[in-house]
């Protein structure tokens, strides 16, 4: 930071603390002066994020001399903030405070325009605050709705595309999403399963289970080279310079001259005694290199007793084949929705592969932002048609697993199990499972376990009562429109059909009335009366 | 003597300038080393010249000596075999006969005012301690007593700085360290023509009266009166912190000496306080070699805001904000309301985006996105209050820019004063500072123009019709006449 202009620039230092979203509105706003306004914005942000209504503190607090917002607006704004409980929303959702302030700046900026169009001062202020109130009354509703569906809001408000969200919330797809959300609530085991997905088992997996390699600092002995010079007296070598000593052999000729003088020779003797004769200094230093072992930590790759990441990313394969239509489809969608919700609640990335027939793999990275939610809603709103080709999505998922970010992902396959993987793909899956410790969780939405799903999954969660979740489950008997129509699943497996063939097997009140309790029945058999009762 | 010291108003610049000019005569591209070496001498400090052989190091030292009247000069090349007699004089035999162990120092280093010691790092252990003491304390242990030395400044020279304990011991004794290299390609021609005509080591022109000892004393008295302003102190403190962060230890003694050098520089230029621009001398005192000096000079330039042309970032942001707001208001569409009849929150360009998204979704096989669509738009109109509010904000902004410009003008004036009066200013630094400040002034001017244009833009926004929005006046009509 240059010192030139520093005092002047420092007066605007608050700009750096404000998010860029507030710059435009904060700097060009019609009311007040720049610096107090920016300071006020920063204070408001802080208070809103703490869940406090900034206007509660306005009178005595740090803002008392702020000229934004204008004092005439404060009372009405305070009521408005209190009424909407905006501070509470901002506390719960961190990004919201900026949005509220941005919107407030926008609406209050319009006061001059209302006045230009003929409104009085008070009326213009009222209009602006009412507009702000109405805007946020609606948004708060939307926030509630989104929060109800997703549990948390993630990045939904990061880029303030309210129109997209608003359109989404009014779409048919959103209604589907809400319906499926309710469905999830009826499947608590499924939600629990997905939440626990990827978590470490209470015991550490055996080393063979995971070949996750990592560098471990191991003590090792390294030879440390240590160079130093050693004096070796009388070592032949070069002359290094002049120094003071008492070595006569290396004495300077000038010193020898002293000896010839009657008086100076005493000086010579004195110097010799004090070892201060000027002598040539031999370069009798030997440069040595020592090697001595020194324990050093050294990184060594070794299979670590893999602490499986408690929450890795999630890969979800969803069967969107035609055979899933009806209740199974609803359950599969619930799996996707719950996976996305869980992933975001636990801050895990989540990728969904929808697989139908051969080559029909749709891959979605579902982030909790407007586009991700729109994509999710679109997916949840569409019907399932097509064949069942498990190999495509598994290959896609395996390809993802090779990427660094997704190495520790877990795979979830939701299907009715009516498929089979080619031996090659199954073998590759086995290999990844062995080498990377991949876990595959199957969600079986059907009536019987199939080899196809069994050989791919480590564990299978079986949703047996999938029929109850079909859109037409309430419609009762299958096929008002005939077989394969809107009925709740395949006709062969409908309960009604069972009734047709085994009328006594259903627990209708009528049947129950006719059924004897076991003791009675046993007694009757012993008495030999069963023939009579049956007849 | 006393009367001379009392004489208050020495016009030091007028006194020193001719001396400097005369000293520089015939030397090519040696202005900065010569002046800094002289400044160090005036401040009572030693100078180390680092450079390859044949770069006029010894000439510089002899010239510095010429600046002082009655100054004894001593010059010696050190080797590994240099014995004490060569530097400090021979043993006095007569004194010995009187049982005193003394040296004849007359004409040797303890007797010199200005000394040049070549290959100073070659000093061996036989002379090292005495030499270090002499440099640091200006005293020489001679026999039983300590002899005070008239030494003003030692100019050391070396080809390269070795890394051993001798180097460390010497290095801190030299406050100013200068790298001298061969002349540049541009200066070569002058070197060939001029330098040859100058007698070896001696100035070719007649030397003006050199500085007397009394004048030197008066100058150092004057230097003591020079103030170190807070601004300079804060820069120095920041420099110290920065050096410490980079792991370069600079001794406290060196900082003190640097302060005195800066004061002396200011005193020589007839100022009563050190200027921030004087800090351009600091790199030569706190850094060891040329590359590090370059880094410090760059850091200093950045701190003083003269490293590169820049425009104050936060101020620029405000101007940009108004420009963005202006273009938004120009593009605003009056009919862009949502279904509840409120203006859309992020209205601009949205319809366009939606149209393109739609075209993309359908599959733009027929180039539908490019086709003209019927659109409903009406440019929004603005009333006087709206425009007044905007122009009021811009007027504040213009006032703010003017404040920046006033500060810059003050800085530029200070820099121009400093450059005009400075005897010691490193020319490249001064020139760069001036160029950059001119650039900053231009940038501020551009900001001002942009703000003014934005103001004009707001004023030329489409206006609401007079009285729009208010209830129309009741139509006056003639009462029916029955």
pLDDT of residue B6: 42
Handedness of CA B194, B196, B201, B202 (dihedral sign): negative
pLDDT of residue A151: 66
Q: How far apart are CA A349 and CA A347, in angstroms?
A: 7
pLDDT above 70 (res A65): no
Q: How confident is the model at residue A484 (pLDDT cuts 50, 70, 90)?
A: very low
Question: In this complex, is the C-beta atom of A263 within 8 Å of any C-beta atom belonging to chain B?
Answer: yes
Retrieve residue A398's tokens.
């395996």
- Range with lowest mean pLDDT among A8-17, A245-254, A384-393, B350-359: B350-359
- Between B278 and A446, the higher pLDDT residue: B278
Retrieve residue A346's tokens.
């636990």
Q: How confident is the model over A224-275, as pLDDT tens digits?
A: 788 888 888 777 778 888 888 888 888 889 888 888 888 888 889 888 888 8
Chain A positions touching B321 (Cβ under 8 A) are 23-24, 27-28
Residue A251 exposed, middle or buried by CB count within 10 Å (0-12, 13-18, 19+): buried
- Between B34 and A144, the higher pLDDT residue: B34
Concatenate the DSSP letters of all residues of B216-238 into one string. Answer: HHHHHHHHHH-B--HHHHHHHHH
Q: Across residues A490-503, what is the average pLDDT?
A: 55
Task: With beta carbons less than 8 A apart as the criterion, state whether B39 and B268 touch.
Answer: yes
pLDDT of residue B391: 92
What DSSP state is assigned to residue B379? B
Q: How far apart are CA A439 and CA A197, in angstroms?
A: 9
Q: How far apart are CA B390 and CA B326, in angstroms?
A: 9
Q: Across residues A97-120, what is the average pLDDT?
A: 86
3-state secondary structure of B211: strand
Q: How far is B303 from chain A (nearest CA, A)?
A: 4
Q: How far apart are CA B91 and CA B98, in angstroms?
A: 13
Handedness of CA B284, B289, B290, B296 (dihedral sign): negative
pLDDT in tens, chain B (482 residues): 334 444 445 788 888 888 888 888 878 888 899 999 999 999 999 999 999 988 888 888 888 888 888 889 999 999 888 888 899 998 888 888 888 888 999 999 999 999 999 998 888 888 888 899 999 899 998 888 899 999 999 999 998 888 777 777 788 889 999 999 888 888 888 888 876 555 544 544 557 778 888 898 999 999 999 999 999 999 999 999 999 999 888 889 899 999 999 999 999 998 899 999 999 999 999 988 888 999 999 999 999 888 888 888 899 999 999 999 998 888 876 665 554 555 554 444 454 555 455 544 444 455 544 454 444 556 788 888 899 999 999 999 999 999 999 999 999 999 999 998 888 888 889 999 999 999 999 999 999 999 999 999 999 988 887 655 555 566 677 777 66
Within 10 angstroms of residue A515's Cβ, the number of other Cβ atoms is 12
Chain B positions touching A160 (Cβ under 8 A) are 345-346
pLDDT of residue B439: 93
Question: In this complex, is the C-beta atom of A271 within 8 Å of any C-beta atom belonging to chain B?
Answer: no
* Residue of chain A nearest B342, judged by CA positions: A131
How confident is the prediction for chain A on average, in pLDDT? 75
* Residue of chain B nearest A240, judged by CA positions: B80
Q: Across residues A269-283, what is the average pLDDT?
A: 86
Rg (CA), chain A: 41
pLDDT of residue A58: 61
Nearest to A35 by CA among A55, A11, A16, A63: A11
- Between B435 and A414, the higher pLDDT residue: B435
Q: How far apart are CA A495 and CA A18, in angstroms?
A: 63
Cα A26–chain centre separation? 32
What DSSP state is assigned to residue B345? T
pLDDT above 70 (res A530): no
CA atoms within 13 A on the CB side of A244: 16
The phi-psi region of residue B468 (left if phi > 0; otherwise alpha if psi is between -120 and 50; otherwise beta) is beta
pLDDT of residue A157: 62
Of the candidates A4, A117, A281, the beta carbon closest to that of B305 is on A4
Question: In this complex, is the C-beta atom of B469 within 8 Å of any C-beta atom belonging to chain A?
Answer: yes
Question: In this complex, is the C-beta atom of B343 within 8 Å of any C-beta atom belonging to chain A?
Answer: yes
Taking CA atoms, B338 is separated from A130, A135, A142, B334, B342, in Å, by: 16, 11, 16, 11, 6
Chain A positions touching B338 (Cβ under 8 A) are 163
Handedness of CA B25, B26, B28, B33 (dihedral sign): negative
Length of chain A: 535
What DSSP state is assigned to residue A207? G
Q: How far is A55 from chain B (nearest CA, A)?
A: 24
Cis upstream peptide for A69 (omega within 30°):
yes
ipTM value of the model?
A: 0.72
Nearest to A383 by CA among A329, A347, A318, A463: A329
Question: In this complex, is the C-beta atom of B282 within 8 Å of any C-beta atom belonging to chain A?
Answer: no
pLDDT of residue B441: 94
Q: How far apart are CA B271 and CA B268, in angstroms?
A: 8
Question: Which stretches within A323-390 are classed as H helix?
Answer: 327-345, 370-381
Retrieve residue B142's tokens.
């001679």
Segment 428-457 of chain B within 8 Å of chain A by CB: 440
Of the candidates A9, A24, A131, the beta carbon closest to that of B325 is on A24
pLDDT above 60 (res A206): no
pLDDT of residue A485: 37
pLDDT of residue A1: 62
């Amino acid at each position: 930071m240059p010192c030139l202009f520093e005092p002047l620039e420092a007066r605007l230092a608050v700009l750096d603390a404000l998010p860029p979203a507030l710059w435009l509105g904060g700097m060009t706003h019609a009311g007040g002066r720049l610096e107090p306004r920016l300071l006020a914005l920063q204070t408001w942000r802080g208070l809103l994020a703490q869940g406090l209504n900034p206007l509660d503190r306005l009178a005595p607090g740090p803002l008392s001399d702020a000229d934004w917002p204008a004092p005439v607006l404060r009372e009405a704004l305070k009521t408005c903030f209190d009424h909407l409980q905006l501070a509470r929303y901002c506390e719960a959702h961190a990004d919201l405070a900026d949005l509220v302030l941005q919107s407030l700046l926008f609406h209050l900026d319009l006061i001059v325009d209302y006045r230009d169009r003929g409104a009085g001062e008070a009326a213009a202020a009222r209009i602006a605050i009412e507009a702000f109130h109405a805007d946020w009354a609606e948004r708060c509703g939307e926030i509630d709705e989104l929060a109800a569906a997703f549990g948390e809001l993630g990045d939904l408000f990061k880029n303030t595309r309210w129109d997209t969200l608003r359109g989404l919330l009014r779409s048919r797809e959103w209604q589907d999403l809400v319906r499926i959300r309710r469905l999830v609530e009826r499947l608590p085991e499924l939600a629990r399963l997905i939440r626990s997905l990827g978590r470490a088992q209470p015991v550490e997996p055996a080393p063979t289970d995971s070949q996750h390699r990592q560098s471990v600092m191991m003590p090792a002995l390294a030879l440390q080279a240590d160079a130093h010079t050693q004096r070796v007296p009388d070592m032949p070598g070069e002359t290094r310079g002049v120094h003071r000593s008492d070595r006569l052999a290396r004495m300077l000729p000038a010193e020898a001259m002293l000896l010839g003088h009657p008086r100076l020779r005493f000086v010579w003797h004195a110097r010799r005694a004090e070892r201060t004769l000027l002598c040539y200094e031999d370069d009798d230093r030997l440069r040595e290199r020592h090697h001595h072992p020194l324990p050093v930590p050294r990184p060594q790759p070794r299979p670590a007793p893999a602490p499986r990441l408690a929450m890795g990313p999630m890969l979800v394969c969803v069967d969107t084949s035609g055979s899933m239509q009806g209740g199974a489809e609803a359950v599969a969608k619930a799996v996707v929705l719950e996976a996305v919700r869980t992933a975001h609640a636990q801050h895990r990335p989540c990728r969904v592969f929808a697989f139908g027939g051969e080559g029909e793999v749709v891959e979605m990275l579902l982030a909790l932002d407007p586009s991700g939610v729109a994509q999710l809603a679109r997916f949840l709103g569409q019907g399932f048609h097509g064949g069942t080709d498990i190999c495509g999505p598994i290959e896609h998922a395996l390809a993802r697993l090779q990427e660094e970010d997704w190495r520790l992902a877990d795979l979830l396959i939701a299907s009715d199990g009516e498929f089979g993987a080619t031996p090659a793909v199954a073998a590759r899956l086995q290999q990844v499972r062995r080498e990377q410790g991949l876990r595959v969780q199957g969600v079986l939405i059907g009536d019987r376990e199939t080899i196809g799903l069994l050989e791919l999954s480590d564990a299978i969660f079986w949703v047996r009562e999938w029929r109850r979740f079909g859109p037409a489950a309430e419609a009762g008997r299958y096929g008002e429109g005939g077989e394969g129509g809107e009925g709740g699943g395949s006709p062969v497996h409908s309960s009604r059909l069972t009734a047709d063939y085994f009328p006594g097997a259903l627990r209708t009140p009528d049947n129950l009335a006719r059924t004897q309790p076991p003791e009675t029945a046993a007694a009757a058999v012993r008495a030999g009366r069963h023939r009579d009762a049956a007849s | 003597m006393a009367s001379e010291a009392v004489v208050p108003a020495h016009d030091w610049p007028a006194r020193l300038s001719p001396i400097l000019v005369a000293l520089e005569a015939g030397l090519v591209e040696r202005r900065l080393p010569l002046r800094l070496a002289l400044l160090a001498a005036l401040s009572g400090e030693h100078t180390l010249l680092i450079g390859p052989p044949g770069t006029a190091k010894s000439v510089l030292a002899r010239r510095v000596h010429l600046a002082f009247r009655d100054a004894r000069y001593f010059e010696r090349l050190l080797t590994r075999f240099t014995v004490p007699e060569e530097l400090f004089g021979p043993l006095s035999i007569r004194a010995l006969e009187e049982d005193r162990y003394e040296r004849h120092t007359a004409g040797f280093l303890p007797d010199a005012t200005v000394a040049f010691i070549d290959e100073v790092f070659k000093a061996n252990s036989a002379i090292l301690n005495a030499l270090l003491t002499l440099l640091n304390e200006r005293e020489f242990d001679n026999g039983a007593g300590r002899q005070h030395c008239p030494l003003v400044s030692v100019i050391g020279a070396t080809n390269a700085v070795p890394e051993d304990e001798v180097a460390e011991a010497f290095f801190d004794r030299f406050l100013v360290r200068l790298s001298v290299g061969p002349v540049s390609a541009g200066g070569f021609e002058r070197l060939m023509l001029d330098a040859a005509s100058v007698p070896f080591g001696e100035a070719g022109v007649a030397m003006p009266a050199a500085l007397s000892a009394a004048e030197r004393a008066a100058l150092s008295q004057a230097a003591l009166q020079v103030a170190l302003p807070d601004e300079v102190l804060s820069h120095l403190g920041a420099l110290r912190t920065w050096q410490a962060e980079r792991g370069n230890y600079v001794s406290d003694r060196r900082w003190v000496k640097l302060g005195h050098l800066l004061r002396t520089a200011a005193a020589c230029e007839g100022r009563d306080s050190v200027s921030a621009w004087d800090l351009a001398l600091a790199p030569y005192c706190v850094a060891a070699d040329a590359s590090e000096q370059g880094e410090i000079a760059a850091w200093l330039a950045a701190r003083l805001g003269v490293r590169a042309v820049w425009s104050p970032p936060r101020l620029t942001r405000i101007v940009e904000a108004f420009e963005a707001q202006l273009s938004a208001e120009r593009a605003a569409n009056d009919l862009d309301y949502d279904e509840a009849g409120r203006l859309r929150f992020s209205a601009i360009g949205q319809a366009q985006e939606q149209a393109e998204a739609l075209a993309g979704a359908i599959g733009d096989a027929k180039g539908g996105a490019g086709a003209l669509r019927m659109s409903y738009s009406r440019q929004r109109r603005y009333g006087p209050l709206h425009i007044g509010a905007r122009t009021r904000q811009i007027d504040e902004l213009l006032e703010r820019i003017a404040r920046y410009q006033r500060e810059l003008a003050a800085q530029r004036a200070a820099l121009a004063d400093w450059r005009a009066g400075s005897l010691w200013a490193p020319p490249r630094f001064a020139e760069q500072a001036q160029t950059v400040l001119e650039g900053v002034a231009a940038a501020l001017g551009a900001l001002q123009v942009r703000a003014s244009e934005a103001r004009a833009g707001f004023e030329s926004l489409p206006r609401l019709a007079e009285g729009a929005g208010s209830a129309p006046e009741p139509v006056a009509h003639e009462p029916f006449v029955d």
